[in-house]
Amino acid sequence: MVICVYTEERWAEIRAAVDSVARQSLPALETLLVVDHNPALLARLTEEYAAHRARGEVRVLANAGPRGLSAGRNTGIAVARGEFVAFLDDDAVAEPEWLRRFDEAYGDDPRILAVGGRTVPAWASGGRPGWFPEEFDWVVGCTYRGVPEGLVRVRNVLGGNASFRRTAFDTAGGFATGIGRDGDRRPLGCEETELCIRLTEAVPDAVLLVDDRAVIHHRVPAARERFAYFRTRTYAEGLSKALVSRSVGADKGLASERRYTTRVLPAGIARALRDTARGRPAGLLRAGAIAAGAVTTATGYLVGRYRTRGGAVSFTSGPIERTGPGARPELRGRWEAAV
């Protein structure tokens, strides 16, 4: 169980995330808290969970790679002792059956290399803003409207609510650095998309699943309920998609996005306009947000493709090497990319 953390401002959320793992009906072998280049937070968490560390329940680690979420996850992968490695966002809480649902989905089928779940937004204001379309819940790290329900095969899982067989990283390497988040300064993403595509290229018969019974609740702070964040995040997603498509090719990098753009978004606009016709003015705002989100994402993609022309994405080495407890991780499976 890996939880990557970076700021003391989320102290209460970090503790809630760890507590939710401790309450799982299927216990985790261990919980790894990976701190992203924040010595004060590292010291505080080390003291907080000293007793748990002695029992082997919670270990606090420093990110052994460059600043950012991808390298933090790679640090956790390198020292993880379990057959499966699960990831939970530091501002989310998992329902008690979360890990059990993952375990059931894997079953005895070795082809299943990753299982994700459903992420539900927990709005700081107490409810969804009227203008915010469910089709864009990925903006706040949650499962969006248009994702198939049930236990379904997918191109990629979402990193904040996901699990992988340990052998997936042995085969394909770790998360790409330079694509994912770097604290609050760079709201990029798609590192899990790039990894999953790379994984299925390395293992052609690999199966990746999402089980919507594996539920977590992801906190959405007030700042992310505003249109300014919506605009920034959608633009950054376009930049990230450009990196992924440059790395793995547009056919694979944008396969799911084509369906999303041609089916999910038009259906969302039609639904919003029907609400408007029924006397619900927020429907018009949602329709406008869907259109704006599509435009800013496409703009980010075009800018990203222009900036990465000539091949700015490079693979540097082989799979992440596993290390023993207490050892410094060897992050040899690092992808490096830059916008």
Average pLDDT over residues 148-177: 93
Residue-wise pLDDT for 13-36, tens only, equals 999 999 999 999 999 999 999 999
Going by pLDDT thresholds of 50, 70 and 90, the confidence category of residue 329 is: very low
Q: Which is higher by pLDDT, 192 or 214? A: 214
How confident is the model at residue 163, as a pLDDT? 98
Answer left, alpha or beta for residue 190, where phi above 0 means left and psi between -120 and 50 means alpha: left
As a three-state string, the secondary structure of 183-208 is CCCECCCCHHHHHHHHHHHHCCCCEE
Going 10 to 11 to 12 to 13, the CA torsion angle's sign is: positive
How much is the mean pLDDT over the chain?
Answer: 87
Please tell me the pTM assigned to this model. Answer: 0.88
How confident is the model at residue 194, as a pLDDT? 86
> 53 pLDDT exceeds 90?
no
Q: Which is higher by pLDDT, 187 or 176? A: 176
How confident is the model at residue 247, as a pLDDT? 63
Where are the domains positioned within the chain? Answer: 2-224
> 187 pLDDT exceeds 50?
yes
Average pLDDT over residues 153-179: 90
> 44 pLDDT exceeds 50?
yes
How confident is the model at residue 212, as a pLDDT? 96
> 178 pLDDT exceeds 70?
no
Going by pLDDT thresholds of 50, 70 and 90, the confidence category of residue 321 is: low
The three-state secondary structure class of 278 is: coil
Least confident of 8-12, 66-70, 122-126, 314-318: 314-318
**Chain centroid to CA 115:** 12
> 111 pLDDT exceeds 70?
yes
By CB atoms closer than 10 A (0-12, 13-18, 19+), residue 126 is exposed
Residue-wise pLDDT for 273-289, tens only, equals 999 999 999 999 999 99
How confident is the model at residue 255, as a pLDDT? 65
Question: Could you name the CATH architecture of 2-224?
Answer: Alpha-Beta Complex (3.90)
How confident is the model at residue 25, as a pLDDT? 97
Residue-wise pLDDT for 115-130, tens only, equals 999 999 999 999 999 9
Give Cα separations from 150 to 88, 210, 252 (angstroms): 20, 8, 24
Average pLDDT over residues 81-97: 97
**By C-alpha distance, which of 157, 169, 164 is closest to 116?**
157
Q: Which is higher by pLDDT, 311 or 303? A: 303
